[in-house]
Amino acid sequence: MRRHDFEPGKLVIGLVLLGCAAAYLGAAHGNLHFPSYALLPVLVAGFCLAGVVSAVAFAVRRGRR
């Protein structure tokens, strides 16, 4: 099996989505109390952060070649 490149942007967005899912489940269970629409800015910020991380990783890879 051929090895593939590590993509840190996918790791970042995966962690953000897992964190949002855990927060939403905690709110649904009653452990956390916050409005559910408050997760939308967190998701937008997570996607922006993942984009920046992906761009930096691309620039680093491009600079090595």
> pLDDT tens, 24-54?
898 888 888 888 788 899 999 999 999 999 9
Question: Are the C-beta atoms of residues 46 and 62 closer than 8 Å to each other?
Answer: no
Confidence band for 6, pLDDT divided at 50, 70 and 90? confident
Distances (CA, A) of 17 to 12, 23, 29, 30, 42: 9, 10, 18, 20, 9
Distances (CA, A) of 58 to 4, 18, 31, 65: 14, 24, 40, 11
pLDDT of residue 65: 65
Q: How many CB atoms lie within 10 A of CB 50?
A: 21
pTM for this prediction = 0.82
